[in-house]
Amino acid sequence: MPEIPDLEVIKAFLNERIVGKEVVRANEVRPAMIRSLAAGDFSRDVAGRRFGTVSRQGKMLTLPLGPDRLLVIHMMLTGALQYCTSDATVLKRTFFIMGMPDMDLRYLDERQMGMVYYVRPDQLPKVPRLEEQGPDAYDGDLSLDEFTAGLKPFNGEIKGILTRGKFVSGIGNAYVDEVLFAAKISPFKRCKELSAGDIERLYVAIPEVMDEAINILRERMVPDIHVKVRDFLKVHRKGGGPCPRCGHTISEITANRRITSYCRNCQPGMLIKN
């Protein structure tokens, strides 16, 4: 699933290349993907419109198309945007293509799990999850006091709270492992058990982890923004390997189809508490 670092790099990449460009052709290779609330025929309606500035809200990207149309993309687990020449081979997992005079922007989704909505601005409340998200986890204006107060209503395990998006948005399963490792907090620690020191370390770790990843991804994702790069992460999916901080073996468990990777030595805490 693309998370803050991936989406920030994709957003910046697209804003350098497509803003002001006209969609001269559109093709729904697999029409079932786009939920078009703004028009009955997406391909016909989008043709002739020009891209505006791409924005990100949590794990979603919004691509303006003229003054009265928006394409909201939640890529979920396997979605991706591909920027390529118009004569590039159309991959099997391609669902729709928006062609500019010399380049294409294509949406790919191996498992068809993403959600793509074509709406008018007044229809944004109809996009699921868009307005239900908490403040963006990468928002530099979120103070430590606000961050601490935002945690108070929650009592679940901190990993689950961070990934659900109600407390803060934009962090998924991969980067939550990295953030909690950086903050030295067990993923299974309950919010009510977090000390003031835990919360402050968590608050500091989020932007630090995001900044580090963004810098790496700028070098390694561009121009292939549809390719997921995760091999540089310190603990996520590194189970059985040495902890980069203490040398102990990284633990990895799978529960509810979600992998959790952490160091039991650096991030002490019980897996299950009664």
Q: Is residue 270 part of a domain?
A: no
Same-domain check for residues 211 and 254:
yes
Last residue of a domain, one of 85, 103, 132: 132
Same-domain check for residues 124 and 152:
no
Same-domain check for residues 117 and 156:
no
Q: Is residue 274 part of a domain?
A: no
Q: What is the pLDDT of residue 274?
A: 37
Same-domain check for residues 152 and 240:
yes
Q: Is residue 73 part of a domain?
A: yes
59 and 3 Cβ atoms separated by less than 8 Å: yes
Q: What is the pLDDT of residue 13?
A: 98
Cα distance between residue 49 and residue 18, in whole Å: 12
Same-domain check for residues 8 and 123:
yes
User: Which string of b and e fits 41-50 if b means at least 16 CB within 10 Å?
Assistant: ebbebbeebe
Same-domain check for residues 34 and 123:
yes
Same-domain check for residues 152 and 111:
no
Q: Is residue 84 part of a domain?
A: yes
Q: Is residue 79 part of a domain?
A: yes
Based on its alpha-carbon atoms, the radius of gyration of the chain, rounded to whole angstroms, reads: 20
Number of compact structural domains in the chain: 2
Q: Is residue 77 part of a domain?
A: yes
Residue with the two structure tokens 């902890």: 243
- The CATH number that applies at residue 164 is 1.10.8.50
Same-domain check for residues 212 and 128:
no
Cα distance between residue 8 and residue 13, in whole Å: 9
> Is it true that the peptide bond before 125 is cis, omega within 30 degrees of 0?
no
Question: 194: Cβ–Cβ under 8 A, 6 or more apart, which residues?
Answer: 151, 158, 185, 202
Q: What is the pLDDT of residue 34?
A: 94
Amino acid at 138: Y
Same-domain check for residues 112 and 177:
no
Per-residue pLDDT of the chain (274 residues; tens, 9 = 90+): 899 999 999 999 999 999 999 999 999 998 888 999 999 999 999 999 999 999 999 999 999 999 999 999 999 989 999 999 999 999 999 999 999 999 999 999 998 899 999 999 999 999 999 989 999 999 989 999 999 999 999 999 999 999 999 999 999 999 999 999 999 999 999 999 999 999 999 999 999 999 999 999 999 999 999 999 999 999 999 999 999 999 999 999 997 778 999 999 999 987 654 3
Last residue of a domain, one of 100, 132, 164: 132
Burial class (CB in 10 A: 0-12, 13-18, 19+), 6: buried
Same-domain check for residues 212 and 254:
yes
Q: What is the pLDDT of residue 43?
A: 95
Cα distance between residue 86 and residue 194, in whole Å: 52
CA angle (235 as vertex; 233, 239 as ends), nearest 5: 125
Last residue of a domain, one of 87, 107, 132: 132
Domain limits for position 198: 144-262
- The CATH number that applies at residue 62 is 3.20.190.10
Q: What is the pLDDT of residue 256?
A: 73
Nearest to 103 by CA among 217, 41, 192, 24: 24
Same-domain check for residues 112 and 203:
no
27 and 236 Cβ atoms separated by less than 8 Å: no
